[in-house]
Structure 1
Amino acid sequence: MNLKTVAVLPGDGIGPEVLDAALPVIEALGLPVDLEFGDIGWECWRTEGTPVPDRTWDLIGRSDAVLLGATTTKPRREALAELAPELRGQAPQYVSPIIQLRQRLDLFANLRPVENYLGGGTPYRFCVVRENTEGLYAGLDWDHVPDGMWPLVADHPNACRSGRPGSTASIRLQTAHGLDRILRFAFDTARDHGYGRVTLADKPNVLRQSSAYVLGRLEAIAADYPEIPFEVLNVDAVALWMARRPEQFGVIVAENMFGDILSDLGGGVMGGLGLAPSANIGEHGNYFEPVHGSAPSMAGRGRANPAAAFLTIGLMLEHLGFADEAGSIQDAVRHVTRRRDRVTYDLGGTATTGEAAQAVIDACREVPHTPTAAVITIGDELLRGDLEDSNAGNASRMLGERGIPVRVRHTIGDDEATIADAVRACIGRDDVVVVMGGLGPTSDDVTRSAVARALGRPLEHWEEAWQGVVERLTRFGVAIHDDNRRQALFAEGADLLPNPHGTAWGCRTEAQGSTVIMLPGPPRECLPMLEMVLRDGLPHLPKRPEVTTVFRRTLGIIEADAAALVDQLVADSGAPVRPAYRWHYPYVDIRLGCPPEAADELAKRLDTALADHIVTGRDRTAVQELATLLDQHGLVLDLDDRLTGDVFATELARERDITDGTATLHATVSGTWQTGDRTTYTGTVALTCTVRDKTDERTYRLTVPNRGPEVTTCFTQFAAWSVARHLTGRHHTRTEEPA
Structure 2
Amino acid sequence: MNRKTVAVLPGDGIGPEVLDAALPVIETLGLPVDLEFGDIGWEYWRTEGNPVPDRTWDLIGRSDAVLLGATTSKPRREALAELAPELRASAPQYISPIIQLRQRLDLFANLRPVENYLGGGTPYRFCVVRENTEGLYAGLDWNHVPDEMWPLVADHPNVRRSGRQGATASVRLQTSHGLDRILRFAFETARGHGHERVTLADKPNVLRHSSAYVLERLEAIAADYPEIPFEVLNVDAVALWMARRPERFGVIVAENMFGDILSDLGGGVMGGLGLAPSANIGETGNYFEPVHGSAPAMAGHGRANPAAAFLTIGLLLEHLGFEHEARGVRDAVRHVTRRRDRVTYDLGGGATTTEAAQAVMDACRAVPHAPTSAVVTIGDELLRGDLEDSNARVASRMLAERGIPVRVRHTIGDDEAGIADAIRPALGRDDVVVVMGGLGPTSDDVTRGAVARALGRPLEHREEAWQGVVDRLTRFGVAIHDDNRRQALFTEGADLLPNLNGSAWGCRTQAQESTVIMLPGPPRECLPMLESVLRDGLAHLPDPPEVTAVFRRTLGLIEADAAALVDELVRDSGVPVKPAYRWHYPYVDIRLGCPPESADVMGKRLDTALADHIVTDRDRTAVQELALLLDERGLVPDIDDQLTRGVLAAELTRARRSGEGSASLGVSLSGVWHGGDRTTYTGTVAVTCVVRDETGERAYTSTVPHRGAEVTTYFTEFAAWSLTRHLIGRSHPLTEESA
Which residue in the other structure is 1:736 paired with?
A: none
Q: Secondary structure at the match of 1:287?
A: strand
Which residue in the other structure is 2:214 paired with?
A: 214
Greater mean deviation of Cα atoms: 391-400 or 235-244: 391-400
Q: Secondary structure at the match of 2:575?
A: coil
Greater mean deviation of Cα atoms: 200-209 or 552-561: 200-209
Deviation at 1:663, TM superposition (A): 9.0
Greater mean deviation of Cα atoms: 229-238 or 330-339: 330-339
Which runs of structure 2 are paired with 1:231-246 in the superposition (5 Å)? 231-246=231-246
Q: Deviations over 1:369-398 (max 9, x none)?
A: 221111111111111122121111111111
Greater mean deviation of Cα atoms: 523-532 or 338-347: 338-347
Deviation at 1:693, TM superposition (A): 4.5
Deviation at 1:158, TM superposition (A): 2.9
8 Å CA contact 2:634, 2:660 repeated in 1: yes
Q: Secondary structure at the match of 1:504?
A: coil
Which residue in the other structure is 1:602 paired with?
A: 602
1:403 paired with 2:403, answer yes
Deviation at 1:698, TM superposition (A): 3.1
Deviation at 1:577, TM superposition (A): 2.6
Which residue in the other structure is 1:683 paired with?
A: 683
Deviation at 1:130, TM superposition (A): 0.8
Q: Give the whole-Å Cα distance in 2 for the aligned partners of 1:512 and 1:47.
A: 50
Q: Secondary structure at the match of 2:136?
A: coil
Q: Give the whole-Å Cα distance in 2 for the aligned partners of 1:57 and 1:598.
A: 57
Q: Give the whole-Å Cα distance in 1 for the aligned partners of 2:202 and 2:686.
A: 78
Greater mean deviation of Cα atoms: 39-48 or 399-408: 399-408
Q: Deviations over 1:662-688 (max 9, x none)?
A: 894443333222222223333222122
Which residue in the other structure is 1:143 paired with?
A: 143
Greater mean deviation of Cα atoms: 449-458 or 158-167: 158-167
Deviation at 1:691, TM superposition (A): 3.1
8 Å CA contact 1:700, 1:732 repeated in 2: no
Deviation at 1:546, TM superposition (A): 2.1
Pair 732,400 (structure 1): closer, same or farther in 2 beyond 3 Å = closer
Which residue in the other structure is 1:338 paired with?
A: 338
Greater mean deviation of Cα atoms: 597-606 or 133-142: 597-606
Which residue in the other structure is 1:546 paired with?
A: 546
Q: Secondary structure at the match of 1:486?
A: helix
Q: Deviations over 1:454-508 (max 9, x none)?
A: 1111111111111111111111111111111111111111111111111111111
Pair 291,436 (structure 1): closer, same or farther in 2 beyond 3 Å = same
- Normalised to the residue count of structure 2, the TM-score between the two structures is 0.95
Pair 66,729 (structure 1): closer, same or farther in 2 beyond 3 Å = farther
Which residue in the other structure is 1:737 paired with?
A: none
Which runs of structure 2 are paired with 1:548-627 in the superposition (5 Å)? 548-627=548-627
Q: Give the whole-Å Cα distance in 1 for the aligned partners of 2:26 and 2:35.
A: 10
Q: Give the whole-Å Cα distance in 2 for the aligned partners of 1:327 and 1:602.
A: 42
Which residue in the other structure is 2:382 paired with?
A: 382
- Aligned residue identity for 1:184: R
Q: Give the whole-Å Cα distance in 2 for the aligned partners of 1:30 and 1:607.
A: 47
- Aligned residue identity for 2:320: L
8 Å CA contact 1:550, 1:591 repeated in 2: yes
Which residue in the other structure is 2:421 paired with?
A: 421
Which residue in the other structure is 2:47 paired with?
A: 47
Which residue in the other structure is 2:737 paired with?
A: none
Q: Give the whole-Å Cα distance in 2 for the aligned partners of 1:166 and 1:680.
A: 76
8 Å CA contact 1:687, 1:702 repeated in 2: yes
For structure 1, the 5+ residue unaligned runs are 734-739
Pair 44,479 (structure 1): closer, same or farther in 2 beyond 3 Å = same
Greater mean deviation of Cα atoms: 534-543 or 37-46: 534-543
- Aligned residue identity for 2:366: E
Which residue in the other structure is 2:79 paired with?
A: 79
Q: Give the whole-Å Cα distance in 1 for the aligned partners of 2:329 and 2:178.
A: 33
Which residue in the other structure is 2:736 paired with?
A: none
Pair 471,368 (structure 1): closer, same or farther in 2 beyond 3 Å = same
Which residue in the other structure is 1:716 paired with?
A: 716
Deviation at 1:423, TM superposition (A): 1.1
Which runs of structure 2 are paired with 1:379-528 in the superposition (5 Å)? 379-528=379-528
Which residue in the other structure is 1:269 paired with?
A: 269
Deviation at 1:727, TM superposition (A): 3.2
8 Å CA contact 2:403, 2:543 repeated in 1: no
8 Å CA contact 1:71, 1:294 repeated in 2: yes
Q: Give the whole-Å Cα distance in 2 for the aligned partners of 1:517 and 1:392.
A: 14
Q: Give the whole-Å Cα distance in 1 for the aligned partners of 2:604 and 2:223.
A: 73
8 Å CA contact 2:402, 2:543 repeated in 1: no
Pair 666,26 (structure 1): closer, same or farther in 2 beyond 3 Å = farther
8 Å CA contact 1:513, 1:540 repeated in 2: no
- Aligned residue identity for 1:140: L
1:349 paired with 2:349, answer yes
Q: Deviations over 1:403-446 (max 9, x none)?
A: 11111111111111111111112212211111111111111111
Q: Deviations over 1:117-166 (max 9, x none)?
A: 11111111111111111111111122222222233333333334444443
Pair 648,288 (structure 1): closer, same or farther in 2 beyond 3 Å = same
8 Å CA contact 1:634, 1:663 repeated in 2: no
Q: Deviations over 1:541-571 (max 9, x none)?
A: 2332222222211110111111122222223
Pair 632,3 (structure 1): closer, same or farther in 2 beyond 3 Å = farther
Q: Secondary structure at the match of 1:138?
A: coil
Q: Secondary structure at the match of 2:7?
A: strand
- Aligned residue identity for 1:529: M
Q: Give the whole-Å Cα distance in 2 for the aligned partners of 1:242 and 1:528.
A: 43
Q: Give the whole-Å Cα distance in 1 for the aligned partners of 2:102 and 2:605.
A: 59
Q: Secondary structure at the match of 1:326?
A: helix
Pair 614,11 (structure 1): closer, same or farther in 2 beyond 3 Å = same
Q: Give the whole-Å Cα distance in 2 for the aligned partners of 1:108 and 1:696.
A: 93
Which residue in the other structure is 1:285 paired with?
A: 285
Q: Give the whole-Å Cα distance in 1 for the aligned partners of 2:483 and 2:171.
A: 64
1:21 paired with 2:21, answer yes
Deviation at 1:697, TM superposition (A): 4.3
Q: Give the whole-Å Cα distance in 1 for the aligned partners of 2:611 and 2:663.
A: 29
Q: Give the whole-Å Cα distance in 2 for the aligned partners of 1:59 and 1:727.
A: 80
Which residue in the other structure is 2:260 paired with?
A: 260
Q: Give the whole-Å Cα distance in 2 for the aligned partners of 1:333 and 1:603.
A: 37
- Aligned residue identity for 2:667: A
Q: Deviations over 1:268-314 (max 9, x none)?
A: 00011111111111122211111111111111122211111111111
Pair 490,617 (structure 1): closer, same or farther in 2 beyond 3 Å = same
Q: Give the whole-Å Cα distance in 1 for the aligned partners of 2:436 and 2:178.
A: 56
Q: Give the whole-Å Cα distance in 2 for the aligned partners of 1:521 and 1:116.
A: 32
RMSD: 1.9
Q: Secondary structure at the match of 1:370?
A: coil
Deviation at 1:632, TM superposition (A): 4.1
- Aligned residue identity for 1:334: R
8 Å CA contact 2:73, 2:96 repeated in 1: yes
Which runs of structure 2 are paired with 1:726-737 in the superposition (5 Å)? 726-731=726-731
Q: Deviations over 1:342-393 (max 9, x none)?
A: 2222112222222222222222222222211111111111111221211111
Which residue in the other structure is 1:317 paired with?
A: 317
Q: Deviations over 1:614-653 (max 9, x none)?
A: 1112211112222333344454444443433433233333
Q: Give the whole-Å Cα distance in 2 for the aligned partners of 1:12 and 1:597.
A: 49
Greater mean deviation of Cα atoms: 84-93 or 653-662: 653-662
8 Å CA contact 1:504, 1:520 repeated in 2: yes
For structure 2, the 5+ residue unaligned runs are 734-739
Q: Give the whole-Å Cα distance in 2 for the aligned partners of 1:730 and 1:64.
A: 73
- Normalised to the residue count of structure 1, the TM-score between the two structures is 0.95
- Aligned residue identity for 1:436: M
Which residue in the other structure is 2:100 paired with?
A: 100
- Aligned residue identity for 1:584: H
Deviation at 1:71, TM superposition (A): 0.5
Q: Give the whole-Å Cα distance in 1 for the aligned partners of 2:420 and 2:502.
A: 24
